[in-house]
Amino acid sequence: MQWLSNHTEDLQSQFAEFCRTGKPVSLPGTNPQRMEHYRRLSFSVIYNSLEQAYPITQQVLTDSEWTDLVDGFYANHDNTTPLLWQMPHGFYEYVANSDLQIKEDYPFLPELLYFEWLEIEVHTMEDIPYPEGFVKSSDFTTESAVAVNPEHRLVQLTYPLHLKAVEEAIKEPGNYYVLIYRHPESGNVKFMNLSVLFAFAFSLFAEKQLNIYEAAKEIENQFGLGEEKQVLKHLHSFLNKMSELEAVSGIIKK
């Protein structure tokens, strides 16, 4: 059912386009000076939301660079969500997918935005239930599968943004594995640096629901390791640490 006439929808679209771009438009019954206030107010909402979402990025850029970037996003990006808290993800997509000069000056910018967005995503993600058979436990020597904290993201970064200030992190490009998870009690988002081996182990527990012995075998095969007892020893220490930090939650009895 169409609630608005085509004429009304056209007027609304023109007004929205003016708010986004600032390009002059003549609308019947409107005062150009008053319309400027609507553009200023709408831009302020976007600016303030992005400022809260990306404080590190804003500090890295100059004031003019940040304002121009936000203005370009507001004017040119087709927002696909009506939810204000999700809008910053569109900002990241805009920067990552657009041919912008600022990325020549700051080649790490898309990853920095992605890194900051992940904290929002994990903090606001819906509660994820544990699999059937879950038991809170720190005994990982059984045949039961290891249960990880389901509210997490495991990502690979080029820069150690989770370990160092941006100006230092960008000097050390490489392969960094980061576990980002929501603490079940405080709700705070935690960041943990993982070696490639332990990142692989965590992904096995998260995706395949393996027990410690099955995971050790896969690790041995993947990395060409032959000392099963040593792998188990290090894996057990890893799980104990992860359990203390609430990144691993218990076991899944089947």
- What digits encode the pLDDT tens for the residues 114-132? 999 999 999 999 999 999 9
For residue 14, the one-letter residue type is Q
> What is the pLDDT at residue 139?
95
Count of structural domains, the chain? 2
> What is the pLDDT at residue 3?
47
Read off the pLDDT of each residue in 213-241 and give the average, rounded to a whole number. 90
CB 249 within 8 A of CB 130: yes
Q: For residue 23, what are the domain limits?
A: 6-124
Residue 243's CATH number:
3.90.930.50
Instruction: Give the β-pairing of 189-194 and 248-252.
Output: unpaired
Residue 86 banded pLDDT, cuts 50, 70, 90: confident
Mean pLDDT is lowest, of 31-45, 101-115, 218-232, 239-253, for 31-45
> What is the pLDDT at residue 4?
47
| 40, pLDDT greater than 80 | no
The span from the first CA to the last CA of the chain, in angstroms, equals: 51
Q: DSSP secondary-structure letter at 162?
A: T
Exposed, middle or buried: residue 49 (CB in 10 Å: 0-12, 13-18, 19+)? middle
Q: Could you say which of 67, 89, 124 is where a domain stops? A: 124
| 22, pLDDT greater than 50 | yes
Q: Which residues pair with 191 in a beta bridge?
A: 180
Measured CA to CA, the distance from residue 183 to residue 241 in angstroms comes to 14
- Kindly state the tokens that stand for 189: 């988002």
Inside any domain, residue 129: no
Q: Could you say which of 79, 95, 124 is where a domain stops? A: 124
Q: Which residues pair with 154 in a beta bridge?
A: 179
Say which residue the tokens 């070696």 belong to: 195
Inside any domain, residue 239: yes
